[in-house]
Amino acid sequence: MDLTPRVETFGQEDQTWLDTAHGTSSARSITIDLTKGFVQGTHYPNGYLPSGTCLAKTTVNGQTVFGLYDDTATDGRQVFVGHLFTTVKASGTVIGALYDHGRVNRSRLPFAIDDAGVADVAGRIQYV
């Protein structure tokens, strides 16, 4: 058994993009596929996907997974479905929580979302 002390550094969780607590208790568990649109140097340079990342649903080998929303994609990721609720480590199998109901401060998101994505979630997420 290795009892050597280990040091890990965690960044501060930034959920300032949330404009309300509404919907935070109903975030659901999802599997994120890092090969679906994510670029390490852009989306998780420190090894973590930030909360607020815009996600879309796609299928890999018959399984539903989530990737980075991209309105030019053709594999399902062109339809925005929600935001990553909390920051997650970007390695191996990535399990996160999908925030898909509530109010979001669009200017505080870690990555911009276009008007097409905003329209995709009209009625579930309100942007201010």
Answer yes or no: are the C-beta atoms of 33 and 93 closer than 8 Å: no
57-78 tens-digit pLDDT = 999 899 999 999 999 999 999 9
Instruction: Inform me whether the pLDDT recorded for 108 exceeds 80.
Output: yes
d(CA 52, CA 18) in angstroms, rounded, equals 8
The mean pLDDT value for 27-54 works out to 96
Query: pLDDT value at position 7?
Result: 67
Answer yes or no: are the C-beta atoms of 101 and 22 closer than 8 Å: yes
**Selection from 100, 94, 127, 93 nearest residue 112 by Cα:** 127
Output the pTM of the full model. Answer: 0.88
Q: Are strands 63-68 and 88-89 parallel, antiparallel or unpaired?
A: unpaired
**Selection from 90, 73, 83, 71 nearest residue 14 by Cα:** 83
d(CA 125, CA 39) in angstroms, rounded, equals 26
In this structure, the number of other CB atoms found within 10 A of the CB of residue 33 comes to: 19
The mean pLDDT value for 98-123 works out to 92
